[in-house]
């Protein structure tokens, strides 16, 4: 994966179409490596989470091209490569597993990031009905060691339809139920990389199962 990190590092310094076109072969080779890595991870994750089903890695890996139509930052390319493994691929509303490769900023994670309103309400409803079960999942030693905090984007008040005096109201204020664990560049290029990713994703499985149960029950 060293070649992938090298390509992304240079892309960060040369984020323009001319440079990208001149280095398109390097991009294609980097993408092939990420596709192959994603395929390996899909196979391994399927061993403990069969609900992801048979996945084509191309349906999981994100495009490197940015949508700049409404963005203040008009640089055309992302400076990372990543994939989301879930039932239905990267566009799925299901909770799943995310891999992010970026020089100095790689991480593994998952859950549900910025879900649509109906899915978010389903998650909150399930947590409202079973707060102790959800808290237990997040507080286990092995999980908390890898994922000490949830993605911190929260409402300031109780979400509509839920009582403000609910004892665990803070758990319902989250706009995402997503988790990340940093990975050093030395691990990205190390021989144990796949094993570390899969182990971290396996820790996420019980939380994803809780969230996906909510979708099955309330949608």
**d(Cα 78, Cα 98) in Å, to the nearest integer?**
16
pLDDT value of position 103: 98
pLDDT value of position 70: 86
Residue 161: count of CB within 10 angstroms of its CB: 10
**d(Cα 203, Cα 214) in Å, to the nearest integer?**
19
Bridge partners (DSSP) of residue 82 are 100
Question: Tell me, what DSSP letter sits at residue 92?
Answer: -
**d(Cα 123, Cα 128) in Å, to the nearest integer?**
9
pLDDT value of position 141: 95
**Whole-prediction pTM value?**
0.96
Chain centroid to CA 87: 13
Residues of the chain under the 50 pLDDT cut: none
Domains plus CATH for the chain? 2-218 (3.30.930)
């Amino acid at each position: 994966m060293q070649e992938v990190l090298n390509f992304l590092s240079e892309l960060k310094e040369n984020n323009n179409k001319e440079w990208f076109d001149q280095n398109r072969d390097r991009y294609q080779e980097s993408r092939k490596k990420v596709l192959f890595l994603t395929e390996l991870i899909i196979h391994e994750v399927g061993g403990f989470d069969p609900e992801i089903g048979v996945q084509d890695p191309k349906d999981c890996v994100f495009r490197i091209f940015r949508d700049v139509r409404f963005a203040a930052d008009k640089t055309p390319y992302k400076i990372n490569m990543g994939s989301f493994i879930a039932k239905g691929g990267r566009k799925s509303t299901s909770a799943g597993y995310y891999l992010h490769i970026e020089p100095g900023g790689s991480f593994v994670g998952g859950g549900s990031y910025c879900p649509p309103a109906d899915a978010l309400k389903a998650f909150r409803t399930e947590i409202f009905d079973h707060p102790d079960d959800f808290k237990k999942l997040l507080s286990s030693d092995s999980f908390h060691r890898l994922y000490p905090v949830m993605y911190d984007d929260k409402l300031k008040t109780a979400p509509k339809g839920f009582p403000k005096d609910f004892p665990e109201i803070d758990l319902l204020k989250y706009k995402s139920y997503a988790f990340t664990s940093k990975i050093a560049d030395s691990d990205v290029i190390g021989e144990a990389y796949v094993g570390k990713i899969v182990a971290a994703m396996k820790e996420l499985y019980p939380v994803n199962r809780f969230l996906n149960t909510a979708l099955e029950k309330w949608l």
